[in-house]
Structure 1
Amino acid sequence: MRAEATKQHKCLLFNQAISIENFEYQRFMTELLVSLLVSIAKQKSIPLSRIQIRFPYEKPNHVEQYQAYLPLTYHFSGATQSSLSSLQVKFDLGLLKMQLKESNAMLASHYIRQLPMEAHRVGFLQFIMQLLFAQLERRSDISLEWLAEKLGYSTATLKRKLTLHGTSYQQLIDITRQQTAVFLLTEQGFNNEKIAHELKFSDITNFRRSFKRWTGMTPSHFLEEASRIS
């Protein structure tokens, strides 16, 4: 999970930490995670009306199950490559200051102290994704050679390890760029030129071409669809 924020909202984006699995597995884990979120929110009396969910896949055939068990605002992605998208949980910033039901200050303090240690307990892909997102935010080098050197591998060894984890360097770059582009487009309101610059594309045409490969839509069409189903 990584966090992004706008002036009014916090967005939590979830990716797989260990390996890239098949679509059915990803959808099951996504449904499980959202179900747990709803259960915890109900238990802690968190108003579900203040939480929005964006599922990283098209509307499923069994959507009536969502309607029956997920009493919050949600919508589905129209992206053609679900493996590049992530589950997004969005809520207003005021929710962070809400006093939870039966909250325990001592217990909260205990878990906060554990955070520095938890930051290092990450999966192989999770660690790489953290590096790529950080580099992209700094608009620094995200080449295969840079990544291999950062991890202490040769490029050939890194390619083999990524294959064992069900992915490739190019797919991880696509995931990083696609998710960042969608967030900047839909949540921050950036235009194509600014997004292309943030993602280190040489020009707008290359960015638009890549965006359509990732999602099956141009940025303007994607934004239109996202606004319509929201």
Structure 2
Amino acid sequence: MLLLVVLVVWAVPRWLPRGGLVIRIGPAAPSPAAPAVQPARQSIPDSASQPAAQAPAPAAPGPAAEPADAADPQSPDSAVAPMSAAAGLLLVPVQGVRPSQLTDTYTQARGQGRVHDAIDIPAARGTPVLATAEGTVLKLFQSARGGTTLYELARDGRTIYYYAHLDRYAAGMAEGKALRQGEVIGSVGNTGNAGPGNYHLHFEVTTTADPKRYWAGTPQNPYPLLRHGISR
């Protein structure tokens, strides 16, 4: 008996696991699960992570703006407006004659059923005739009725001043010459059909869409324009 006890005491240490024998009572505890392997995170380019920026849609074209100087299709090209105060004050075209001394002869009858369509400004022969406004000498013309005449084109490009029965032109007068208001263009006479001793200036104002047809403009009464004008 004593020999059996000694044998057991000697043999046990050799088959027990190091740390002793662990005896568990009850159901065995589950072995810990292996940690889940996380898939490697894929690198996503920035261009894929955000939606591509879209170019803004082109704006719908608006109505085309008309140029500031567009012509009115309702206005006929041949329409000519009468002279207005915007053209400036006219100068009485005979030196020394005041506006209050003028007589309205615009509607007086003339030979062959004609109407005067002008005013006559009496003055002594040789009295200087002055440019009524700034402009350009359009035509120097010898006429059976008007005698020695001068057509002046105003700066607006469509108003024409007509001076007739001149005794002579001033020195240096030529077609295309620029005129200053008040510049001497000739002198009072009685050439043409004025009649002997009937010294005066026949003065007309017309408007035209074509200055090349300087003789065919629409007449305007010079009297109210000169009556409210100036003199020298």
Return the TM-score normalized by structure 2. 0.24
Query: Which structure has the larger Rg?
Result: 2
Which one has a larger percent strand, Structure 1 or Structure 2?
2
Which one has a larger percent helix, Structure 1 or Structure 2?
1
